[in-house]
Amino acid sequence: MADTTDHSTTGANAPAYYVSTPIYYVNDRPHLGHAYTTVAGDVLTRWHRQRGEKVWYLTGTDEHGQKIMRTADANGVTPQEWCDKLVEEAWKPLWRHLEIANDDFIRTTEERHTARVQEFVQDLYDKGEIYKGGYSGPYCVGCEEFKLPSELLDGATEDEKLCSVHKRPVEWLEEENYFFRLSAYAERLLEFYAANPDFIQPASARNEVLRFVEQDLKDLSISRSTFNWGVPLPWDEKHVLYVWVDALQNYITAAGYGSDPERFAELWPASVHLVGKDILRFHAVIWPAMLMAAGLPLPKRVVANGWLMVGGEKMSKSNLTGIAPTDLTSHFGVDAYRYYFLRAIPFGTDGSFSWEDFTARYTSELANDFGNLASRVAAMVGKYFDGSLPAAVASGDAEQAVADGLAKAVAAADLKIGEELDFAGGIAAIFEFVKQVNGYLTEQEPWKVAKDDSEEGRARLATILYTAAEALRATAVLLNPVMPSTAEKLWVSLGAEAGLGALSAQTVATVADWGRLPAGSTVTKGEILFPRLEEKPAA
């Protein structure tokens, strides 16, 4: 799972492009929503590796808190046993299955994390940023979050209140706690947001955070004293750290905070925190304030993705709308899965999943537009040139238009995927190029040109097929971050490695250089990239 190879072409001490997912709460198995964010981070980091940058991709699991303690107890095991089982049997295997090339996987029960967390909060306590007090108010165990009255729904009785996310009753919490002086950072946070307008994305997420901070920010309860499954406070072991305060620090503990200063200097601040919009406040308000209090740099960007919806409900484990990712990969394949969610649902917006839409896109875009193009070109090179790629010896305006289309697609995809995190827009730009190449073949009609045995006819046929194969060479590179196995199959089919090296060695900077695929490359048809789908499995 973890890719430990140094993909960088930069100096050893150059800052890394550091991307993190949220660390996922392991009260149950992962669902499509978890995989959506993790695949997005994987595509982003693979793209930056293709730029030749040093990249570091972190994911992991959040393993403390009352919810996990109760779930473990209900299953007759200890919280640690419950977490170990789920991590090793569900979470890590799924990321391997989805070809997630993370560089590290952090667990909040690991000593490398807990020891550093205690040092971090001890430092804040010593600075006077943490004080003892009492808390009374509603608490959602499902969210592991204190709730404001405005965030609750009416329940079945006059006294019952429901979490607006889980639609389940909240609990009334009344206990002695330690508090972080979050309210003292309201002005500094607002000043930071103003000076760094791209810190929170998309704009809707930024506006939500601004409204929240402007509404009289309250101090944050950071400890619990009614259960013990958490990181003990070093100065008062009757209390364990509030799970979110513990969890947020994974981004620095995994990066070497307090243990490896050189590594920490290389990795921190993070380039991008990818988060779900339901945990935006923790990452865009509480986390920056804690870092300010500790005197540490803030991450460069916090990007919130929307919710995946099924039947109008947010996909979640607790609402039982979570569909196992393997239900889909067993039907459509892993690469089609990686492609579909980022292509169909613009990152940062809510989106709905349906079998029907997935099937339609698979058939139209992957099988017909892309897969058939690769198959047709390989078949024609085999039929007309015995599998040896001919040279383009009669190029004209039509071929130049394809080369120009490639340059346009590369520029758009690099901007949208690499900078804007607009995965849908970047993939669309690549597939517009695929459609252009299909249109080029339709217009040039190589199957008719092949009937002309003259020298001019053979030259024209050679040029058409070289142009299509060269376009596929570039397409393999562009789609490698999105569909790595499919891109590798195409690379092999084109015989590209003999002349250009491994697909993993190709770069965004050179992908639009027209004519890189050497004439004489051995082109083979290979297996069908996107075979016909079987009937949808029974629910």
- The first and second tokens of residue 457, run together, are 């006819």
- Rounded Cα distance between 328 and 195, Å, is 43
The answer on whether 143 is annotated among ligand-binding residues is: yes
Strands 200-201 and 302-305: parallel
Q: Evaluate the CA torsion angle 228, 231, 233, 234 in order and state its sign.
A: positive
- Rounded Cα distance between 85 and 93, Å, is 11
Cis peptide before 202 (omega within 30 of 0): yes
Phi, psi (deg, nearest 5) at residue 311: 60, 30
- The first and second tokens of residue 335, run together, are 């690469």
pLDDT in tens, 28-46: 899 899 999 999 999 999 9
Q: Quick one: pLDDT band at residue 142, thresholds 50, 70, 90? A: low
Q: What is the pTM of this model?
A: 0.90
Residue type (1 letter), 281: R
CA distance between the termini of the chain: 30
- Measured at the CA of 351, the angle between CA 349 and CA 355, to 5 degrees, comes to 160
Among all residues, which ones are annotated catalytic? 31, 34, 140, 143, 163, 166, 314, 317
Q: What is the 3-state secondary structure (H, E, C) of 438-492?
A: HHHHHHHCHHHHCCCCCHHHHHHHHHHHHHHHHHHHHHHHHHCCCCHHHHHHHHH
pLDDT in tens, 385-397: 999 999 999 999 9
Higher per-residue pLDDT: 177 or 430: 430
At 216 the pLDDT is 85
Q: Counting runs of H as helices and runs of E as strands, what totals does the chain give?
A: 22, 18
**Residues sharing a CB contact under 8 Å with residue 434, sequence separation 6 or more, in sequence order:** 369, 370, 373, 475
The answer on whether 140 is annotated among ligand-binding residues is: yes
Q: Quick one: pLDDT band at residue 494, thresholds 50, 70, 90? A: very high
At 316 the pLDDT is 56
**What distance lies between CA 463 and its chain's CA centroid?**
39
pLDDT in tens, 404-419: 999 999 999 999 999 9
At 319 the pLDDT is 47
For the chain, the structural domain boundaries read 355-505
Q: Tell me the average pLDDT across 360-372.
A: 97
140 has a pLDDT exceeding 80:
no
Query: What's domain 355-505's superfamily in CATH?
Result: Isoleucyl-tRNA Synthetase; Domain 1 (1.10.730.10)
The answer on whether 166 is annotated among ligand-binding residues is: yes
pLDDT in tens, 214-247: 998 999 999 998 889 999 999 999 999 999 999 9
